[in-house]
A and B are shown apart, each in its own frame.
Chain A
Amino acid sequence: MSKLTLNGTSFVNLANETVLDTLLRENIQIPNGCHQGICQACLMRSVDTPPPVSAQVGLNPTLQKQNYFLACICHPEHDMTLTLSEQQAVFITARVLQKQLLTTDIMRVVVECDTKITFLAGQFVNVLRHDGLIRSYSIANRPQADNRLEFHIRRLPNGQFSSWIHDELAVGSILTLTEPQGSCHYLIDSKTQPLMLIGTGSGLAPLHGIIRDALEQQHSADIHLFHGSRHHEGLYLVDEMRELATKYSNFYYTPCLSGDNVVPDTVRGRAHDVALSSIQTLKGWKIYLCGHADMVNDSKRMAYLKGVALRDIHAEAFYLAE
């Protein structure tokens, strides 16, 4: 018999019961449907021990890696601490090490976490202000031993949170973060798949982490980055990306400008139009999209129609909350 813990309360998983059986018997409201591991309504996550592999059948590799499982087909082998998707709040404190303007409105912020931080390049964290205001920001670096996280934070018009970060947050001050989450990250088992990454504005942040991670892990197929902005001033890390493209023969960088000006060494057009028209068929490709929600949603559909499998579309859409 295993012990299941959810929101601080423990339940005994009786012989032959699935996790869902136990929770429903205890009158815990869990979304559920087919009870056969097909519909995925009862998706949950184990916070501590990995769930049985048999309870992860059909989930995409990203979710599997993050210990998500289906409660209705999970016969626990150990005690498990559970959470419904994304609801747990483990807080991390971090000190601001560096602030640097990358463009007129995008600030690079580097923080050092007080405790060891585990994340996958491309994930995001929620950042909390002292008054409780919360915003999500993508992590722009890849995991290393230094416990640092880097963010690219765009100042939004009338953005309470982003203005506070740009104008008031001082180097040396302490930030509160939630643990990294999100399924838009590099997967080592995709090593031989060509990658297409499309980002607009500060949507470059997670893509930067993913590219660094893929190159570091010796991704063998081609990697194509398309970074878009309206004006030339909105492009950043241009030199770094060009250097990477020189250093790695399988990395291609295309900066795109959707505004009217013609600028040397950039392509005119919206990044996702340029990207998706550049290649005839995308069968077998993996695609990462990050930026404005409309761009992300359009691109998902276009990429899918060009042959990208649903499981190979990874996206982080920015919805403006401010």
Chain B
Amino acid sequence: MSEVQDTTASLFDQLGGAAAVEAAVDIFYRKVLSDYRINRFFDNSDMEKQAAKQKAFLTMAFGGPNNYSGKDMRDAHAKFVKMGLNASHFDIVMEHLTATLVELNVPPALIAQVAAIAESARDDVLGK
């Protein structure tokens, strides 16, 4: 009779959906921009556009609906790779992502899932 209901909410829903992305972007992007080790990759750029990109990235990492394309990610970061973008910078961004989620009281198990998704973009970002 009844349809089988999926009782496990998606990662995106467990995190709080779009509202959670919104809250996280504000904290995450501020951390990134304040960090002298990586903020040169963000200089001279339109802040709203940058924030929108971070939002797209976080939506993806939160398991939300996205248009993630490895090729776009590669193309977008190619000029930064030329400027010296490497694994250490990616690690720093990952640290800020984790710290943001801790600040928002996200449970460790969910943080691990988000980190794993974000980690999947590493090779594209670094042009490997």
Contacts and interface: CB of A to CB of B under 8 A. Distances in A.
A238 interface: no
B47 A38 contact: no
A305 B33 contact: yes
Contact of B47 (A33, A35, A301, A309): A301
Interface stretch (B22-30, B75-83, B104-112): B22-30
Instruction: Decide if the interface of chain B is mainly helix, strand, loop or mixed.
Output: helix
B18 interface: yes
B26 A36 contact: no
B21 interface: yes
Interface in A11-30: none
Nearest to B46: A297
A249 B19 CA distance: 36
B44 to A, nearest CB: 9
Contacts, number: 45
Contacts of A36: 64-65
Contacts of A309: 26
Contacts of B19: 58
Interface in A272-322: 297, 300-301, 304-305, 307, 309-310
B66 interface: yes
A304 B18 contact: no
Interface residues of B, number: 21
A70 to B, nearest CB: 11
B8 interface: no
A292 to B, nearest CB: 16
B65 A38 contact: yes
Contacts of B67: 33-34, 39
Interface string B70-93: 000000000000000000000000
A304 B33 contact: yes
Contacts of A39: 56, 59, 65-67
Interface residues of A, number: 18
A40 to B, nearest CB: 8
A170 interface: no
B51 interface: yes
B66 A310 contact: no
B34 interface: yes
A37 interface: yes
Nearest to B33: A305
A214 B59 CA distance: 35
Nearest to A34: B65
A32 to B, nearest CB: 10
B68 to A, nearest CB: 10
Nearest to A41: B67
B22 A305 contact: no
A57 interface: yes
A36 B65 CA distance: 7
Contact of A34 (B25, B48, B66): B66
B21 A38 contact: yes
B116 to A, nearest CB: 21
A310 B22 CA distance: 10
Interface in B3-45: 18-19, 21-22, 25-26, 29-30, 33-34
Interface in B53-70: 56, 59, 64-67
A58 B18 contact: yes
A310 B59 contact: no
A78 to B, nearest CB: 25
Given A58-B22, A301-B33, A304-B33, 7 more contacts: A34-B67, A38-B59, A39-B56, A39-B65, A58-B19, A304-B47, A310-B25
22 contacts: A33-B67, A34-B65, A35-B65, A36-B65, A37-B18, A38-B59, A38-B64, A38-B66, A39-B56, A39-B65, A39-B66, A40-B52, A57-B18, A297-B46, A300-B47, A301-B47, A304-B29, A304-B33, A305-B33, A309-B26, A310-B29, A310-B51
Interface of B: 18-19, 21-22, 25-26, 29-30, 33-34, 46-48, 51-52, 56, 59, 64-67
Chain A to chain B: the 9 pairs with minimum beta-carbon distance, closest first: A36-B65, A34-B65, A300-B47, A58-B18, A309-B26, A33-B67, A38-B18, A310-B51, A310-B26
